[in-house]
């Protein structure tokens, strides 16, 4: 089981797959015996490790040895008492990987959610156009450095020549949001939400995060629920809804 497979298993068990992906997953389970066997092993280890973490077992090595005794040793209970159980390298790797993965999910689910956990934190690279190359470069640099007032000024200039550019509108909205200029950010988010641009659901998601930040929880939840399972933001929206 590689990392992508274990994450796929976890998303299925958490109900985070889209309907199409869920059906494809279940079809593969029915047709691929190796995949099904890996899934059964993952479920057993997941249950065991979730239990271990819930009891706050701090000794990671002991946890892995317990997994080895429970799942990889095929001997009788009498034999276990008279011999030392040793992991094979591949068994240790699987156990360690899944332990870390389950530990991450348990910690994520136990801890309180915070809007700051979902703030936009990417470095942006704007699509350059020959007429606005310098302005866009300045907007990009200012945004990436957190100089949002300068970013807004440059986005405004660039939008004078391209008023429907959804990329610029979105990053301008984020800039206003970062400065707590919510009237301006909401207006831009809503403008993108009502269109059919590539930023439609990004705008929906980050407006919902912004509402959450302002303690408008019910409004935020209502917006998160409008994000379809085809959108890139769907999984994060579902995680947040569970925590809210």
Over the stretch 174-233, which tens digit does the pLDDT of each residue have?
999 999 999 999 999 999 998 788 999 999 999 999 999 999 999 999 999 999 999 999
Structural domain harbouring 25: 3-111
Token digits of residue 139: 């907007």
Cα–chain center distance at 242: 13
229 and 125 housed in the same domain = yes
| 77 shares its domain with 90 | yes
Each residue of 141-169: pLDDT tens digit? Answer: 999 999 999 999 999 999 998 899 999 99
Handedness of CA 152, 157, 160, 166 (dihedral sign): negative
CATH number of the domain enclosing 131:
1.25.40.10
Same domain for 132 and 239, yes or no, is: yes
In this structure, the answer to whether residues 95 and 140 fall within a common structural domain is no
Choose the weakest-confidence range: 102-111, 125-134, 209-218.
102-111
Last residue of a domain, one of 63, 89, 111: 111
| Whole-angstrom distance, CA of residue 199 vs CA of residue 50 | 37
Residues 71 and 173 in one domain: no
Task: Please count the structural domains in the chain.
Answer: 2
Q: Are residues 30 and 123 in the same domain?
A: no
**Which of 21-25, 42-46, 142-146, 217-221 is predicted with the least confidence, judged by mean pLDDT?**
42-46
The CA–CA distances, whole Å, from 195 to 5, 190, 192 equal 36, 9, 5
Chosen domain end from 111, 139, 165: 111
Which of 111, 126, 161 delimits the end of a domain?
111
Does 159 lie in the same domain as 66?
no
pTM of the model: 0.58
Alpha helices in 161-243 (DSSP H): 166-178, 182-193, 200-213, 217-225, 234-243
């Amino acid at each position: 089981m590689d990392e992508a497979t274990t994450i796929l298993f976890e998303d299925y068990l958490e109900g985070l797959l889209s309907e199409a992906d869920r059906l494809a997953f279940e079809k593969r389970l029915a047709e691929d015996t190796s995949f099904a066997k890996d899934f059964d092993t993952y479920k057993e280890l997941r249950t065991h490790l979730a239990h271990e973490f819930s009891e706050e077992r701090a000794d990671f090595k002991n946890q892995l040895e317990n997994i080895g005794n429970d799942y990889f040793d095929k001997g009788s209970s009498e034999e276990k008492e008279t011999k030392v159980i040793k992991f094979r390298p591949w068994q240790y790797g699987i156990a360690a990987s899944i332990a870390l993965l389950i530990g991450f999910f348990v910690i994520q689910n136990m801890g309180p959610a915070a809007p700051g956990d979902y703030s936009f934190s990417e470095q942006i690279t704007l699509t350059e156009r020959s007429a606005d190359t310098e302005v866009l470069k300045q907007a990009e640099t200012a945004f990436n450095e957190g100089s949002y007032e300068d970013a807004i000024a440059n986005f405004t200039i660039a939008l004078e020549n391209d008023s429907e550019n959804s990329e610029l509108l979105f990053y301008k909205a984020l800039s206003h949001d970062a400065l707590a200029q919510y009237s301006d950010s909401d207006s831009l988010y809503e403008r993108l939400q009502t269109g059919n641009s590539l930023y439609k659901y990004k705008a929906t998601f980050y407006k919902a995060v912004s509402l959450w930040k302002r303690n408008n929880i019910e409004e935020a939840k209502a917006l998160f629920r409008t994000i379809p399972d085809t959108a890139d933001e769907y999984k994060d929206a579902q995680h947040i809804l569970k925590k809210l």
